[in-house]
Each structure stands twice: as C-alpha cells, then as structure tokens.
Chain A
Amino acid sequence: MLTNADLLALHGTPGNFTATVNLRPRYIDADACTACGLCTQYCPRHHVDPYNEGLAITRPIHIDYAQAVPATYYIDPSSCLFLQHGTCQICVPVCQSHAINFNQKAEERTLHVGAVILSPGFGKIDPATLARFSYGKHPDVVTAFEFERMTTASGPFQGEIKCFSDGRHPKRIAFLQCVGSRDIGCDNGYCSSVCCMYAIKEALVTKEHDPEVDITIYYMDIRTQGKDFDAARDRAEAIGIKFVRARVADVTPWQNRLQLTYATLDGQHKFEPFDLVVLSVGLESPKDARRIADITKVDLNRYDFCATDSFNPLQTSQPGIVVAGAFQGPKDIPESVTQSSAAASLAAAAMKSARGKGVEVISYPDEQKVGAGEEPRIGVFVCHCGINISSVVDVAQVARYAGDMENVSYFTENLYSCSQDAQEVIKKKIKEHNLNRVVIAACSPRTHEPLFQETLRDAGLNRNLFEMVNIRDQCSWVHAGEPELATLKSRDLVRMAVCKARHIQPLPEQTVPVTPKALVIGAGVAGMTAALNLADQGFDSVLIEKGDSIGGNLRHLHHTLAGEAVQAHLQDLVAKVGASKHIELVCNAELAQTSGFIGNFSSVIVSGKGPDKVEQTVDHGVIIVATGGREHRPDKYLLGKSKKVLTQQELEKQLAGKAKNRAPGSVLMIQCAGSRGDDLQYCSKVCCNHALKNILKIKELNPQAQIIVLYRDMRAYGFAEDAYLQARKMGVVFIPYELDRKPEVTEKGAKVQVRFFDSIMQEEVVMSPDLVALSVGIVPDDTDTLSKLLKLPVTANSFFLEAHVKLRPVEMAVSGVYVCGLAHGPKPVDETIVQAQAAAAKAAIPLVKGYVKVDPIVSSVEQDKCIGCGLCVSLCPYGAIVMHKVDGKRKAETISASCKACGICAAHCPTFAISMGGFTNEQINSQIEAFGDRAQTVKA
C-alpha cells in the first residue's frame, strides 16, 4: 500500500509494465506511530479539515478519521509551521513513540507490474457552476457532500443540523437535483446516476433527526433505477418528503431565508422560501483525469471519463490497463464494487502464468499440544497504550490483580502491546513460563486480535488459546473522568477474561479441499461471460442451459444505445464458448439436485428430452447462477391483441428487419407499461434507454417520423442522457403522466386510439398513431426452483438476493454460490457483462486457493446429545446445518465451511448438543459467573 503517492510515469507492455511512483513524505514514521492523537492536541496551528468538507478545523498534524488505514497520522505541509516557516516542532518531543521525522524526503519508486487497474474515483463540480444557486454567497446554501458531513453523528456537528447563518434549526430544506449534471451550461451533459439516491437518503436521515422538518426535492426525473431503489423513494414520499418536478432557476437570499424561483410543468411560476438549500452536485471526471490519460495513454470520452465500449466495459484503449469505478462513468457503490472485482478477474486472467509468484508464503512452527486435562497456565499482559489507557486506568493495579488470580502464571505490563518488540517479549514469556493461555488487556479484539493470534502461532501455541480484554476503546476512552471506576471495570473485565481463558481449548485449523471446477447455470451473456472468464483464468466449467440454444436475451437485441452490433458480439461469444477446452456446454439441461458445500458440491444434471433423457453427476467447487430473465408481457394496452401494439423488443426486431416501411410515420411509446407499481412493483432499469435506442433508430430510418413518449421519469442515467437530449433535439415529444392518469389504448376499427392527459398543455388528448410501443420491463426466469434447491434467498420481486447489497453484490448468503445478470436484477448488457466478470472473480478465489479455510469458531454438534429435532436446521440462516441418518436416527451436522459462527443453533438447541468454538456455554457461563465474582477466583 503506497499512500501519499503519485504516479509519474508508466511504460511497457501487458505483462511487463514499469511504473514510476513518487511517495510524498508524511513526516511521521508509519511503523512507530500508534495513532494516539497526542500530537494533534499539542499542534498550535489550525488547518481546514477537507475530510469534513471544510466544515471543521483540525491541525496540520492529524489523521482524517479514527478508522483510517494506514492508522498513521500525517503532517499536511501546506499549513505546518515548521515546514512553512521553520519554527515550532512542538510535536516532536510530544510524541512518545518518537515517530515524527521532519527529515523524511520524497522518494521515487519503480514498480514492475504485469497489469494496471485505474480506479481514481471522481472529481467534484467546479464551485463556479454552483455560484448561480448562491453557493459561496450565502452560508445556508451547501453541497450534498457538506450536508452529508452535517448529518453524520460522527461529523463536526454530531449530526445536529443547523443553519450556518445564525445557528437556527432549519424548518424548511430544499434539495436541488442535477446541479452540475444534465447541464450543458457547464458541459456536463451526462447524468451522474447517484444524486437522486443520496438526496433521498439524506432527506430520510434528516427526517429521522427531526420529523417536523419540511423537505422538498426539486427534480427533473427521479432516477432511482437501481435494484429496489424505487421502494426507498416511495418510503420517502410516504413519510412526507415532497417531490416537485421543476428545474429551479435561481436561489436568492431574502431576509434571513433563501427564495427559490421555479416554473412547474403546467407553466406556473413559483417563489418559495427555504431555510437551507442543499445542492445535489454531480460527479465529475477526476481532476487528474487528463494527467492519468497522458501518462497511461488511455483514451477519454468527451466528458473526460475513461472511454470503453458496451461489450468490454472495463477495457481501456490500452491493452493491459483496465478501469474500475467512477472513472469509467458516474456510478454508485455496488456498481463500483462489482466493477473492481471484474477488473481483478480481467487482470488475473491476463497474468494467469504469473499467479502466485509474487506472494510470500508464511510458515509457522509446529503447534505445541495442549491437552484438555492440562492445567491452564495463563499469561496476562496489560497494556498502557502509551498514555491512552494508563492516564485513566491504574494499569499496574490491574496487572497485579490478575497476577493474584488462580492459574495466572505470569503477568506484566506493556507500554505498547502491539509494537514489534512487545511481540518478541510475549513470545519469549510464553516459552519461558510455559504459558498455554494468553490474555491481553489492551484495545479492541476487532482490530488487534489477529495480530496477537499470529504472535501465538509464532510461539507455537494454537491461536485460539487467546482472549482479549478491551480496556481502551470501551473503558479508558469512555470513562476518562472516572479513573477509579474505570480501573475497577478493567479489573472486572480481566477477571472475566481469565475465567473464560481457563476453559478455552485449542481449536483445529480446518481446511477443506476444493474441486477446481465451476457449475454455471444459464448460458446467456452472463453465464457465457462468466465461464469464459474462468476459462481465461485456467478453470473448467460445466455450463448448463435450459433451452436448446445459447445466447439468452442477446438473441433478441440488434444494436446497443452506443450503436455497437450485438449479433456480432454474440456470435463471437458463442464461438469462444464452443472452442474453449475449459467449458463443457450442456443444452436442454436442468439442475435436478445439488448437495455439498463450498469447494465440494455434487450436482445431478438432467439433459435431453423424453427417451433421450440423460442424468449425469458433476462434482464442482463453486456455482454461478446466471439464469437470466425475460420480457414481461402485461395483459394491458392491447398487447398481443392488436398488431399495432408492440413491445420495444418487438419494435427493435422490426427496425432491424428489411421491410421497407419498418420505421412507422407516427409512434407513441408508453413507458413503465406494467411496471413501477403495476404488475411489477419495480423499475426495470433498461426500458427508458431501450425506448431511446429505438427512437434514434426510427429517426435514422425515417427522419419525418413523429414520436411521442409518455413517461413517468426518463431514466437515461449516465452517458445515455446524451441520447435523451439528442431525441429531444430531433423533435421527439416527451410527456410525463401520473399513476392516477394512465394512458388508455383502445381499438377503433383497424386503428388504435390512445387517450392520455397532456400534463404540459393540461388537457385530454386523443391520438391514433401508426404504432404503439410499450416499454414493458423485465421479470426473472424461474428463480423459485433454484432458490429451493440451493437454499438461496430471493427478494420480494423474485430476483436473487445478494449477500450484501453494497459490498458483496455478486455473492450469495450461501458460501460458494455467486449470482450475475438478470437473475440478480434488471440491467443492461454492459452491466451484465461486468457482473459476470465479477462473479467469475469471486468464484475463482476458492478455485485458486485449492482449499477453503474454516474459521475454527464454527458450531459443532455432539452427536450423542442430538435428538434430531431439526430446530437448528430450520433456524440456520446460512444453510450450514444438515440432517442425516446415523444408525437409523436423525442427527444434525454442521457444514463447517458454510458456518458463519453466529451461534443461533447453539442458543436454541434444546439438549445443549451444539457447541460454538471459542464461545462455548462453559466459557460464557464462566464469564458470567466471574461477572458476579461469587466463584473463588483469587488464589487462596
């Protein structure tokens, strides 16, 4: 990890790049800094805090936030008195670990790498663009980024929202959408794709703080097209957040408030006062986009984002260099996370031959055997953490107290338990005193347990013979004013830990071997891309397809919005799948049964029809679910009843045909036909762009064609906004409709008639277009069967539910199963391809390792005590417990590799047959008893 670093140059070819990186000094030795924060308290100079969007003051020597990685302070040279004026240096003697070093110099480093991933993020809109909304002129106009810090409980105002002008709590707050996006005035024609979501989120959070506050969101289109995003918008509306379709012209300070001027759709001009105005600023290309492009020679698009195409969404114009995240186009967190996993799989495939060569293998000494009957010899180490603990807690007293306890063979104090030399001391003392349990009272096990467990392993002890006591984060830091009570609390916590430690047992490090093969279900673009990527990484897959040919929905598409030919790409994919020696394709096939767990699945696949039906069993390590989706066909608007009513997909087919009059003279399109609160509750994300694509095609074939689009929100997110603008420039008329006034389609002789309310002219209109095109949405193909077969959760809308919507977007709750494509949710082809590559990256991880490591704190069932009631099986959220017959009796058994150690099973087992490694009943009970301190804990 190279922080404070700039890329200076990049040369070479794929597999053999040379990068020059400049490391700016942080003036603090990262290895020595303990992040105690003393230096910041002593530093006399003020520094505007960019982490808090300039809303707070910090010091030149600081850390951005407590959880920062690396957890090392740094000195901002722009405001440090010594670095600017050669004076001060007060921090140098203050630092107890002598970490401050003003002699650090910038260092240039040359890196040899095989591939490069560009993920520089995004830039911020120029304040000049914001000035017309009085930003910078009036303190109560803030950006949404600033507002985010204002609402944050850990932010500079502890989440209390106040007007900067006079400190009053705002009663009326306005959000202005599309500031610096969809705005050709500042040359940002694109939609930033995230602002609608963050505005709704911030509005919801604000309402939570103060239900009385009145919030209005001024928007052009609410683009909550992501999976289940519309539901949040509905929630916002339900709790009283107002949505007004209007572009606000300007914001004028008026008395002590801000006056908004805007015009509504029906042509009325309105003025409204607000206390606080939040600008939903867009995402720009990164500030240094041009510099990165100069150094790496990748092409940028017209908005200075990295240029890519729909079928290779992450490949830059330079081989060996891929892009991920907002630099590829504005996007939200799950899209970014998906792209980065996909970028990782592309880099991994490109460098297959070098895999594993750059990584060091760590070896440990043989583990010393600690038998169950062996008397515990506990070592207790109590940490000062500099003065973080010892300034409040009487560390010496706590250590002595521990030393008086039964089974404690050794006790001491450490200045910094986490320091390198302290690890050596701990190892030495373990050997010297023949310790078989270690208790460390210091900071949080959440951050430091792994470090100390490594030390134990180094000393030849099983890493589970360890217990940590948190006397810093949960004691000295939060009871600073009550040193005596804090010391008492530390003693109690140490006592509880020592009592638990008496009962801890070594737990075996379990690993389970992995069958290096994937089962990919569904051979549409998602399944094919995933299987091909795995093949590129050197892994075999069995690709099964329900139908008799592969290609999925791509077979019905002809060109993309950007104009790329779909069929050529599809043929290319099909040919590659056919030619790959790593892919075994089985058509007309369905999964009949799967057993096993991550690394060791065994599936029965049934293929063929009637008498040719064949069953085969496949052993595989992972499963990629790419079962896809299809066009929803609503029984509405005369679809299927009139030849003049087509879906967008049917229209696309007609337009790609050869008929002379294939582009009709007048077309009326109805968006959200059957979606968003109709047959389907959700937005299908692709239909608006599908409509725009067909519109541009019709206009290309027949420039005279008249086109009217009835819509609710045009969701031409990202760079598709350009197409929306182009369509409007060509004279296509877009008219919004409301749910309570849906258009009606009737048959009048040979013609179709559409009746709708024109919200712009405020009147009822009747038309007879040559053609009505319906944007109908997407439904998943049967997810029910597979969901039952593999125990996979689905959403209320029957799409598969990922393990974590932000951070684990392609993994499922069941280990070893990954999802991509339309089975996960509606999405366009480029996003499907990225998701498939990401699923391949995640699936490849266990295949590369060859084994699955099982955290030893998992549950285990004592078969003798198990009565086979099956309660645990029904309760386990991860499908990690199975029932099987032992000597004719039903018994539960944990699949360690799938267990997440939550312990629900153990808490509910009526016969106490289930035990959790590291958290046994015996251990927790001894902790509780030690809490009461009625047990004889202290040496006689």
Chain B
Amino acid sequence: MSDQQFNPKILGFLCNWCCYAAADAAGISRFQYPPSMRTVRVMCTGRIDPAFVLRGLAEGADGIFSGG
C-alpha cells in the first residue's frame, strides 16, 4: 500500500436481502470497486446495534458502511 494514497479500512454491515444481494449482483456484472471494505452479513439492517458501529470504529475502521 502506498503511503501517499489514503486506503481507508471500511467495515460494512449488509442486509442479506438487499445490499448483500446487490453486492453479489455487482460481482456477477463484474463491476470493479476498491477492495477496502470488509463485510459482516446480517439478516436485516435492523439488527445493527449502534454498539457494533462504535466497536468497529474502536477496532480501527475509518468508516462504517450500513447497507439495507
């Protein structure tokens, strides 16, 4: 990783039914995007406890993505 470029570490919470499915669809269409996100699949974004977000930031995430 180059020092000049900012490569953020992003933690993503994706809803199984929509955003996770959309991420799969992006793959099927071979859309290219930066490999900076690590995902946690949940059954619904309603599952996301604010504490998860805080914990993610505490663990060093530069950003939290919630997709649902």
Contact = CB atoms under 8 A, between A and B. Distances in A.
Query: Do any beta carbons of A and B sit within 8 angstroms of each other in the complex?
Result: yes
B64 to A, nearest CB: 10
Contacts of A479: 32-35
Residues of B contacting A: mostly: mixed
Contacts of A492: 38
A923 B16 CA distance: 16
A446 B50 CA distance: 26
A470 B43 contact: no
Contacts of A931: 11, 38, 40, 56, 59, 61
Interface stretch (A335-343, A809-817, A901-909): A901-909
A285 interface: no
Contacts of B35: 475, 478-479, 482, 485-486, 488-489
A82 B17 CA distance: 42
B27 A928 contact: no
Interface string A480-523: 11100110110011001000000000000000000000000000
A645 to B, nearest CB: 51
B53 to A, nearest CB: 9
Contacts of A898: none
A924 B23 contact: no
Interface string B42-57: 1110111110100110
Given A66-B29, A473-B24, A916 B47 contact: yes
3 nearest interchain CB pairs?
A: A932-B59, A903-B47, A473-B27
A472 interface: yes
A509 to B, nearest CB: 18
A925 B56 CA distance: 9
B5 to A, nearest CB: 12
Interface of B: 11, 16, 20-21, 23-35, 38-44, 46-50, 52, 55-56, 58-61
Most buried by A among B21, B44, B58: B44
Contacts of B48: 907
A474 B40 CA distance: 12
A665 interface: no
Interface in A915-940: 916, 919, 921, 924-925, 927-929, 931-932, 934
Given A446-B24, A477-B28, A929-B59, A903 B38 contact: no
Nearest to A66: B28
A154 interface: yes
B47 A857 contact: no
Nearest to B10: A931
Contacts of B52: 924-925, 928
B24 A902 contact: no
A493 B38 CA distance: 6
Contacts of A447: 24
B60 A932 contact: yes
A445 interface: yes
A903 B46 contact: yes
A473 B11 contact: no
Nearest to B41: A445
A488 B44 CA distance: 27
A472 B60 CA distance: 25
A901 B56 contact: no
B52 to A, nearest CB: 6
Given A489-B35, A932-B60, A477 B27 contact: yes
Contact of B55 (A154, A903, A925): A925
B43 A478 contact: no
Interface in A64-87: 66-67
Contacts of A470: 23-24, 39
Contacts of B30: 477-478, 480
25 contacts: A446-B16, A446-B20, A470-B39, A472-B27, A473-B23, A473-B24, A474-B23, A474-B27, A478-B30, A478-B31, A478-B32, A478-B35, A482-B35, A489-B35, A901-B43, A901-B44, A902-B43, A903-B42, A906-B47, A916-B43, A916-B47, A924-B40, A924-B47, A927-B40, A928-B52
A927 B40 CA distance: 7
Contacts of B38: 489, 492-493, 496, 931
A444 interface: yes
Interface string A443-478: 011110000000000000000000000101111011
Contacts of B42: 903, 919, 924
Given A473-B27, A924-B52, A928-B40, A480 B47 contact: no
A475 B33 CA distance: 9
A480 B29 contact: no
Nearest to B48: A907
Nearest to B27: A473
Contacts of A473: 23-24, 26-28
Contacts of A921: 49
Interface string A884-919: 000000000000000011111011000000001001
Contacts of B23: 470, 473-474
A576 to B, nearest CB: 42
A32 to B, nearest CB: 20
B32 A903 contact: no
Most buried by B among A493, A496, A902, A919: A902
Nearest to A935: B59
Contacts of A493: 38-39
Contacts of A489: 35, 38
B27 A478 contact: yes
Contact of A857 (B39, B43, B49): B43
Contacts of A475: 27, 35
A66 B29 CA distance: 8
A117 B42 CA distance: 39
A650 B33 CA distance: 65
A927 B14 CA distance: 13
Nearest to A927: B40
Contacts of A482: 34-35
B22 to A, nearest CB: 10
Given A478-B33, A904-B44, A919-B42, 13 more contacts: A470-B24, A473-B28, A474-B23, A478-B32, A479-B34, A479-B35, A496-B38, A901-B43, A902-B43, A902-B47, A906-B47, A928-B52, A929-B55
Nearest to B37: A489
Nearest to B14: A474
B55 to A, nearest CB: 5
A900 to B, nearest CB: 8
B16 to A, nearest CB: 7
A219 B11 CA distance: 50
Nearest to B46: A904
Contacts of B33: 478-479
A922 to B, nearest CB: 12
B59 A907 contact: no
Contact of B47 (A904, A925, A934): A904
Contacts of A904: 44, 46-47
Most buried by A among B24, B29, B31: B24
A478 B32 CA distance: 4
Contacts of A446: 16, 20-21, 24
A902 B28 contact: no
Contact of A919 (B24, B31, B47, B60): B47
Contact of A928 (B26, B31, B55): B55
A857 B47 CA distance: 12
Contacts of B26: 473-474, 478
B61 A154 contact: no
A924 B47 CA distance: 10
Nearest to A500: B40
Most buried by A among B27, B29, B30, B42: B27
A904 B43 CA distance: 10
A477 B26 CA distance: 9
B27 A919 contact: no
Contacts of B47: 902-904, 906-907, 916, 919, 924
A447 B25 CA distance: 12
B11 to A, nearest CB: 5
Nearest to B1: A485
B12 to A, nearest CB: 10
